[in-house]
């Protein structure tokens, strides 16, 4: 029986080695994951990524392409009553951070790849959030106008007539 057990143990050990991930492959995978994680953390820190979780408008100028919009907001009439997030992202907590994450992804990839329009243009989803937020803050003022269209989602965009309100006069 001893010889049969030895053969069975050797056979089982051989099968286990065949199934096991080679040590060099596990090490290479660990190094790759470490490099990617390290590069991601470095990029997040270098770009001031955590500032985007705040409500501070200066987070928007981490990327120099937004300087003109920030300068316009500083000179505009909404500076004392609204930040970038008040106008440009949905207000409910989960929607707000999903919107911020989506915008952060799009902004960082567009800036990294230099794939954006100049002057910068608002995307349709963000324009819809902007329209909802304008109408929510100014509900009493615009009720007569929006009432003609049946719902808050219909009717003209506020920025059609009031283009410079949020960002002040353009250069």
pLDDT score at 66:
82
Place of tokens 């960002």: 167
SS3 25: helix
Residues 14 and 94 reside in one and the same domain: no
Flag whether 130 is in a domain.
yes
What pLDDT, on the 0 to 100 scale, is given for residue 75?
86
Answer yes or no: is 144 within a domain.
Answer: yes
- 20: in domain: yes
Q: What is the mean pLDDT of the chain?
A: 82
Confidence of residue 33 (pLDDT cuts 50, 70, 90): very high
| Domain-terminating residue out of 46, 67, 82 | 46
The pLDDT tens digits of the residues spanning 85-115 come to 999 999 999 999 998 888 888 887 888 888 8
**Does 51 reside within a domain?**
no
pLDDT in tens, 54-89: 888 888 887 777 888 888 888 888 888 999 999 999
CA distance 134 to 91: 12
Residue 171 has pLDDT above 60, yes or no: no
Does one domain contain both 28 and 82?
A: no
Kindly tell me the sign of the dihedral angle through the C-alpha atoms of 74, 66, 92, 129. Answer: positive
Give the distance, in angstroms, between the CA of residue 3 and the centroid of all CA atoms in the same chain. 65
Alpha helix (H) ranges present in the chain?
2-19, 23-46, 67-75, 84-88, 93-113, 124-137, 139-147, 158-161
Residues 18, 71: one domain?
A: no
CATH number at residue 141: 1.10.3820.10
Q: Is 91 found in the same domain as 151?
A: yes
CA distance 136 to 138: 6
Domain count, the chain: 2
pTM above 0.85, yes or no: no
Residues 35 and 68 placed together within one structural domain of the fold: no
Cα–Cα dist 107/102, whole Å: 9
20 and 78 within one domain: no
Task: Give a yes or no: residue 109 inside a domain.
Answer: yes
Instruction: For residue 68, give the nearest of 114, 35, 76, 108 by alpha carbon.
Output: 76
- Are 136 and 61 within one domain? yes
Confidence of residue 37 (pLDDT cuts 50, 70, 90): very high
Model confidence at 26, pLDDT cuts 50, 70, 90, reads confident
- Residue 114 phi, psi dihedral angles, 5° rounding: 55, 45
Q: Cβ atoms within 10 A of the Cβ of 77, count? A: 12
Which positions ≥6 away from 150 have C-beta within 8 Å? none
139/169 same-domain check: yes
Same domain, 91 and 153: yes
Residue 132, domain extent:
57-171
Given this model, what pLDDT does residue 104 score? 82
Has residue 52 been placed in a domain? Answer: no
Domain co-membership, 61 together with 42 = no
Q: What is the pLDDT of residues 115-144, one digit of tens each?
A: 888 777 888 888 889 998 998 898 888 877
Residue 166 belongs to a domain:
yes
Asked if the structure places residue 104 within a domain, the reply is yes
């Amino acid at each position: 029986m001893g010889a049969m057990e030895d053969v069975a143990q050797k056979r089982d050990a051989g099968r286990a080695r065949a199934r096991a991930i080679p040590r060099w492959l596990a090490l290479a995978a660990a190094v790759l994951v470490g490099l990617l994680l390290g590069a991601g953390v470095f990029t997040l820190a270098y770009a001031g990524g955590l500032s985007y979780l705040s409500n501070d408008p200066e987070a928007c100028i981490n990327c120099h392409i937004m300087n003109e919009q920030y300068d316009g907001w500083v000179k505009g009439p909404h500076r004392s009553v609204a930040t970038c997030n008040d106008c440009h992202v949905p207000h409910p907590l989960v929607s707000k951070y999903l919107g911020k994450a989506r915008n952060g992804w799009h902004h960082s990839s567009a800036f990294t790849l230099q794939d954006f329009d100049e002057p910068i243009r608002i995307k349709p989803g963000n324009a819809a959030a902007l329209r909802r937020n304008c109408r929510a803050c100014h509900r009493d003022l615009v009720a007569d106008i929006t009432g003609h269209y049946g719902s808050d989602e219909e009717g003209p965009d506020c920025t059609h007539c009031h283009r410079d309100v949020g960002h002040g006069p353009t250069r």
